[in-house]
């Protein structure tokens, strides 16, 4: 099986030993506490689940700046986006060497992790702006990632963590949330060697379905791991339970048995386009995938990124040998009326624009909201029904 990034074995930061877990939870009651923001909490979940291997905790300022500017930590580890614990208020933890981190997204704010504080540093607005520009490629406050990143605070707390909770993800998505450890184990149990990962924050339409099928066939892969984001999205995105139901229905009806694993991970969407695509590759390698599908506008939002910037970054910014996982590059996909199937548009010869069925996400949401099913060339009818039910309940 493919090696994790940066180490020979996967080293998740979740404390699985029951006795040790109990001891740390007891210790946390007497420690100074910090309420995490959602971004830092999502980082803790990913660190605990092994997705951010080989990191041992939150980055300090020097590493964060180095990663933002050069895609490497100060000691040379390839890493595409800073993994930080930023906060606006340190009054409750000043001078503390060991603190309890609390979950902002779960009722009662239970302890998520215990942190050994190496440093509490002040990060200037200028540094935050500089990092945002590198990570997101823009400083437009309308960009949802920029808006979140620049509002997290000017205090940076770095150090190792021991993770005690996966927040709400295990309870809310018991059939879907999986750690990198669990996915690796299941890949091994299935005997899969060549494994394709498909990233999604949306329901899967015919084009997505066909993309997975194409990747499997062209790579000779044993299976696909559909890996959906379960954390916070921007307003207007479809909630995770609805996406989950759509994807499971599509896999059940339209893929061979035991060829697809439907899973999810606990992270908030960054909308960082190319940089986020590389982060996706890192943590898909950690979960055991040998290939990641990178398509049009991967992890993008609005018109901030070129259609294929998330592919070219692997040529321009990722040094050879930095990652073992490989990229399956996908073009625009659409239904060809001429060929009566979904195709990559750059491979469809003798086609004009009117030969394709192309619908924008906005148009699809509009017709679903009106209770009209998208054309079968765009969406499987069983998936469309789930989406229509959701939109009508929202608009009703």
Which stretch of DSSP H or E encloses residue 326? strand 326-329
Strands 86-87 and 57-58 turn out to be: unpaired
Long-range contacts for 206-209 (Cβ within 8 Å, ≥24 apart)? Answer: 206/335, 206/342, 206/377, 206/378, 206/379, 206/380, 207/333, 207/334, 207/335, 207/342, 207/378, 208/333, 209/250, 209/254, 209/255, 209/342, 209/380
- Residues annotated as catalytic are 201-202
The answer to whether the peptide bond before residue 31 is cis (omega within 30 degrees of 0) is no
CA distance 364 to 154: 40
DSSP codes of every residue in 230-269: -S---TTSPPHHHHHHHHHHHHHHHS-TTSEEEEEE----
Q: Are 223 and 196 in contact (CB under 8 A)?
A: yes
Tokens representing residue 119 in the block: 């440093």
């Amino acid at each position: 099986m493919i090696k994790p990034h940066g180490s020979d074995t996967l080293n998740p930061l979740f404390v699985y030993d029951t006795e040790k877990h109990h001891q740390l939870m007891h210790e946390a009651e007497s420690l100074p506490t910090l309420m995490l923001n959602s971004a830092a909490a999502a980082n803790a979940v990913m660190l605990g689940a092994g997705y951010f291997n080989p990191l041992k905790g939150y980055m300090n300022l020097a590493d964060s700046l180095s990663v933002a500017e050069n895609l490497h930590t100060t000691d040379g580890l390839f890493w595409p986006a800073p993994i930080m614990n930023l906060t606006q208020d340190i009054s409750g933890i000043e001078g503390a060497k060991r603190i309890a981190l609390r979950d902002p997204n779960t009722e009662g704010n239970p302890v998520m992790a215990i942190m050994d504080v190496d440093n509490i540093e002040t990060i200037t607005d200028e540094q935050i702006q500089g990092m945002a520009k590198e990570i997101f490629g823009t400083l437009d406050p309308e960009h949802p990632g920029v808006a979140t990143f620049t509002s997290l605070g000017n205090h940076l707390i770095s150090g190792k963590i021991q993770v005690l909770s996966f927040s709400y993800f295990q309870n809310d998505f018991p059939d879907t949330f999986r750690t990198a450890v669990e996915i690796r184990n299941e890949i091994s149990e299935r005997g899969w060697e060549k494994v394709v990962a498909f990233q999604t924050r949306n329901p899967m339409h015919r084009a997505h379905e066909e993309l997975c099928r194409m990747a499997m066939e062209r790579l000779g892969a044993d299976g696909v791991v559909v890996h959906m984001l379960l954390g916070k999205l921007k307003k207007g995105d479809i909630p995770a339970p609805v996406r989950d139901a759509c994807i499971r229905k599509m896999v059940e009806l339209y893929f061979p048995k035991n060829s697809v694993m439907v899973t999810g991970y606990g992270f908030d969407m960054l909308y960082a386009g190319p940089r986020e695509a590389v982060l996706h590759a890192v943590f898909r390698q950690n979960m055991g995938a040998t290939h990641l599908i990178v398509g049009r506008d991967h992890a993008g939002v609005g018109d901030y990124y070129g259609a294929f910037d998330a592919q070219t970054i692997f040529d321009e910014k990722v040094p050879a040998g930095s990652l073992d996982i490989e990229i399956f590059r996908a073009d625009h996909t659409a239904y060809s009326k001429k060929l009566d199937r979904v195709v990559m548009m750059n491979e469809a010869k003798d086609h004009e624009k009117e030969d394709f069925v192309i619908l924008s996400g906005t148009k699809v949401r509009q017709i679903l909201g009106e209770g009209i099913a998208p054309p079968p060339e765009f969406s499987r009818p069983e998936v469309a029904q789930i989406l229509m039910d959701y939109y009508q309940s929202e608009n009703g």
